[in-house]
Chains A and B, each alone.
Chain A
Amino acid sequence: MARYFTEEHEWIDLEGDTATVGITDYAQGQLGDIVFVELPESGTMLEKGKDAAVVESVKAASDVYAPISGEVTEANAALEDDPALVNTSPEEDGWFFRMTVSDKSQLEGLMDDKAYKSFCDEL
């Protein structure tokens, strides 16, 4: 399984033709205490760079954009009852949604673990 990172602080796990998407530990740290996550329903067609989800922290609402294009196959129902999972386990249990990958070439140019880490170090 390969994990990719975007400059918008999302991670993408690719397993066959399915991708799992979430936000990184760095991102949750910047957002602070998360109280609500609005996720796309199954069947929603996402287009790279367009609205996919909204994260509400105590203070503010922030958009999450689709890192790649595809169709949502599952949203993480656990976030409905426990949105703080994004704070406590952002890169595992706090995943946002699963989706199909319309165009694998969109993954090209995304960062790997090491590149993302040095990207964050420079922020």
Chain B
Amino acid sequence: MGCFSAVRGASMLATKGCVLSDNTDTPQEIEQLPLDAWHRRKGARMVPFAGYEMPIQYSAESGGGIVAEHEWTRSQAGLFDVSHMGQLMLTGENVAAELEKLLPGAITTLKPGKVRYSLLIDEDGGILDDLMVTNATPWIEADEEAGTEGHWGDPAYYLVVNGAMKWDDIAHLREHLPDEVTLTHMDEHALVALQGPNAATALNRVMRNTIEDMIFMESVVHDFGEWPLRITRAGYTGEDGFEISVPAEFAESLCDRLCAEIEVRPCGLGARDSLRLEAGLPLYGHDITTETDPVSADLGFALTKRRREDGGWMGHEKVMDVFNSGPARKRVGLTFEGRLPAREGAKVFDGDTEIGRITSGGFSPSLGHPIAMGYLEKSHIEPGTEVEVEVRNKRLPAKVTTMPFVPHRYHRGK
């Protein structure tokens, strides 16, 4: 059987890397993350991803497997290790205004404790990376002895960037941000994501209800005993959930504590990928690259109106050309009947004419049929448009659809 020797695209097998591995990555030493031993004790199958050994899935004996972990996250709460991602802290007087020169989102108006999805854009309007920006400016409590009132401290912005891109991002930021801005790579921190409809219940129980007031895209610093945590209500699954940044030395204890809750099980990168695909969320290096711009990628919501109009960010002119004239191709969702998945690279046709390419695709465990996302010619992006996708010389009928494939269930408050 060829899965051990010759694999189409990529393989699930530990010996061969995995389909999630980033093709923009350069060969390097495979390193271990703070939770490595913890995963192995939980029966994880470890694969190289973004330069690290990462759990793709846990053993079937402990309730693991991609589909089982996927379904657990959709119904309970999955705990994902995403410590490969880059956690950066930017500080300095004008850091928000300086950051706005490199991305199209409104950062100067982002209030402390709030989070925004944004993009690093290159000079040609291509996407260098997608990221989360949190205004992490600390609140300084009143000090009666010193006679000071409560006030906001020095501006600080917490960035979470893709693991495979973090070294390039750091170089890009260092090159373009002035010396007054200090960039700290928080590489002594692990990052875990607790995702699912019961994530809040479980986390509130563990944290003694201290995070129950948070809504989607909010972030707090929370000292849990001696563990200084940053808890952000966000994620990459389409479910309600949290990302928790924790000093590496406390990461195992935190994961043990979370997994002691009946709702929580560890889940791997395999389920993370099928969950984000169902949620319609792009994966950098596949669905978005330097060859794609934010408008074609259907990420227009990341282009704040004021920033579109006023400009002043790298790539603004190029992106606005596409914004104003409309993209030639656009990222859309495709659904399939049957069971045969169309994967990254598959060509999309209308009759004999090639009209696009799949950028990621797979079998949707929640829907029970294959789904995909890809870029199609603007003539074929209306939902309901019927197209054909070529898989091993077969034509699979597919239909253009709006995303997400599975509705988001974020906790947006009242």
Contact = CB atoms under 8 A, between A and B. Distances in A.
A66 B365 CA distance: 30
A61 B343 contact: yes
Contact of A58 (B11, B365, B392): B365
A65 B11 contact: no
Contacts of B339: 35-36, 56, 83
A5 to B, nearest CB: 11
Contacts of A62: 1-3, 7-8, 11-12
B1 A8 contact: yes
B96 to A, nearest CB: 40
A74 interface: no
B340 A36 contact: yes
Contacts, number: 103
B1 A58 contact: no
A99 B270 CA distance: 35
Given A36-B340, A38-B392, A65 B2 contact: yes
A63 interface: yes
B1 A33 contact: no
A31 interface: yes
B403 interface: no
A9 interface: yes
A5 B20 CA distance: 31
Contacts of A6: 1
Nearest to A27: B1
Contacts of B273: 59
B66 interface: yes
B10 A60 contact: yes
Nearest to B343: A61
A91 interface: no
Interface residues of B, number: 35
Given A8-B4, A33-B65, A55-B3, A61 B363 contact: no
Contacts of A33: 65-67, 365
A23 interface: yes
Given A27-B3, A62-B8, A56 B340 contact: yes
Contacts of A65: 1-2, 6
Question: Which of A27, A30, A59, A63 has the most B CB atoms < 10 Å from its CB?
Answer: A59
Interface in B54-74: 56-57, 60, 65-67, 70
Contacts of B2: 8, 51, 62-65
A38 B340 contact: yes
Nearest to B59: A29
19 contacts: A6-B1, A8-B1, A8-B2, A8-B4, A9-B1, A33-B365, A56-B340, A58-B270, A58-B362, A59-B270, A60-B11, A60-B18, A61-B9, A62-B2, A62-B11, A63-B7, A64-B1, A64-B2, A65-B2
Given A55-B3, A62-B2, 9 more contacts: A9-B1, A23-B1, A35-B339, A36-B363, A55-B1, A58-B363, A61-B8, A62-B7, A62-B11
